[in-house]
Chain A
Amino acid sequence: MNRPMQWLSLIAITLLISACASNNDNIDDSEMAEIDQSTQGTSTAGVADSESFEGEALEDPSSPLSERIVYFTYDSSNLSNEAMDLLEAHGEYLADNANRQLLVEGHTDERGAREYNLALGERRAEAVKQALLLSGARDGQISTVSYGEESPAMNGSSEAAWSQNRRAELLYER
């Protein structure tokens, strides 16, 4: 690994983190985009353009790290291959950034029993956590919570809504 580049990316990330700390606990893409513009004085853009370093900044839309939701099939907490690839990237990022904390929220669609779904949501969040640990994240970096079917991403009783709601969300903390 290219050591100076790693340092550079670390500095960039640290700057971004401190910039966003005053705004909000949770990081999402839109917020980071704003911050990006307000911190043009730093060399963030130059770093993000480079393709040679690892541990990309979370806000880079071309990075797998910008994707923070994994989806599941009905009544299942099995991770798809796509989900495993995504979680590998996040797990490596967490391994490289020991100060980062992640909350994994497990959710289900509306079908079936609410309390069973609360348990199923936790299984999903735990499955995500295990995958992240396999890729090098440490146990203390990840917490999980299940909302079952109580907090849908999309209202409605169609497969279109259900497929959006069967999910685990990765929420990075400050």
Chain B
Amino acid sequence: MKTLLALVLGLFLAAPAASQVRIEITGGAESALPIAVVPFRENRVSPGLDMAQVIRDNLYRSGLFDPIRPSDYLGSPSRFEDVRFRNWRALGADTLVVGNVSPLDNGNYRVRYELLDVYAGNRITGQRFSVSPEGLRNLAHTISDQVFEALIGRPGGFNTRVAYVEERGNVDNPEYRLVVAEADGHRPQSILTSNEPLMSPDWSPDGERLAYVSFESGRSSQIFIQDVASGERRTVASFSGINGAPAWSPDGEQLAITLSRGGNPDIYLIDINANSEPRQLTRHFGIDTEPTWSPDGQHLYFTSNRGGSPQIYRLPVSGGDAQRVTFEGNYNASPSVSEDGRFLAFAHQTDSGFKIAVQDLDQEFMSVLSDGQLDESPSFSASGSMIAYTRSSAKGTELATVSVFGRVQGQLIDFDHTVREPDWGPL
């Protein structure tokens, strides 16, 4: 357990000693922690949600955990005192989550869980909550977060939201929706419906607003900012030509956007709270678009075909020359930067189609993570351990996740409609 934990922690903490770090594309979960999450005992209640299952799915999708199947469990303890650790050692579990749900007088539930170290035979962490019936799923995400953070040493980000675009109808009569859902795709809620295309949702750093592109004017794209809770919105860019690719600055004060009002697509900055002129950052006759910020707000990564084909470049926000960042292949686009600024995810064209790839920005080492034909629109999770993206499906497109470490691929819930362009919200 200790060795394994140290190994995994090493993946994250060894950033200064870059040469030690290697991203292994194992296809399996070689360094993933074996964990058992026992179904929570339901005392005189049946809340209708298998919280342990939600937690197992969350942990599995991160690529850092290898949950053991419940059918293999020997017993179903619900608290530390009842656990026979020898049984769980025999099963190969390093850690164990037990818990129970009880009714409260006001119709709410009391939920109690404990995270146990199977080898040391002690308690790592645990907590007691009172929660409304509607809050149970969120609580399962919160417990996932606590387990993840206790064992990995950084936030899990399971209790975050994802925004995406949904398309219904057919070619002749389409309907587009901007949807906000839990990070695992559950409980989707439309915040905008339109008969014209919607694109490129981007969360504000405080997780309260979304910037997006809408064609509702009928003649050109516009950029809107919408408050997710109230639904209030306003136009922030409606210039001649393209208004696209909004990206919030880490301080939430600015948007990097693409405008073509100067004759061709370039990157501009606009202030959210002031009606000042957009500040032009790139000046090139090629296509410059898809800006995204480094977490320190000092640089923008963006896609440009200035070298002949789309590649990702990095530009100091304060001014200066753009430097090319991606070199493998003829088409790399749609950059997303991990929260620690270390990794860049992007859509990468190979001989067998478009894949999601990740590049270690320190080592310039690129790995292909996904294996679809038309994978696109990668978005790092707040924890940096997962990437959400769009992949093709029988119905059109769907949302999927891939773990940065260990290559665990998952599908967000089964969608009834074609969905795309996930943007993972902040913690």
Contact = CB atoms under 8 A, between A and B. Distances in A.
A157 B334 contact: no
Most buried by B among A116, A122, A144, A152: A116
A75 B242 contact: no
Contacts of A122: 241-242, 260, 264-265
B303 interface: yes
Contacts of A154: 171
A114 B242 contact: no
Nearest to B176: A150
Interface string B290-328: 100000000000010100011000000000000000000
B244 A118 contact: yes
Interface in B381-420: 392, 420
Contacts, number: 91
Contacts of A147: 197, 215
B423 interface: no
A42 interface: no
Given A113-B376, A157-B374, A157-B392, A152 B258 contact: no
B379 to A, nearest CB: 13
Interface in A118-173: 118-120, 122-123, 126, 143-148, 150-155, 157
A143 B289 CA distance: 22
A146 B245 CA distance: 14
B354 interface: yes
A119 B245 CA distance: 10
A115 interface: yes
Contacts of B303: 113, 115-116
Given A145-B220, A155-B171, A150 B197 contact: yes
Contacts of B377: 113-114
B95 interface: no
Interface of B: 171, 197, 199-200, 213, 215, 219-221, 241-242, 244-245, 258, 260, 264-265, 287, 289-290, 303, 305, 309-310, 331, 333-334, 347, 349, 354, 373-374, 376-377, 392, 420-421
21 contacts: A75-B331, A111-B349, A112-B333, A112-B354, A113-B377, A114-B199, A114-B200, A114-B334, A114-B376, A114-B421, A115-B244, A115-B334, A116-B303, A116-B333, A116-B334, A118-B245, A122-B242, A144-B241, A146-B242, A147-B215, A157-B374
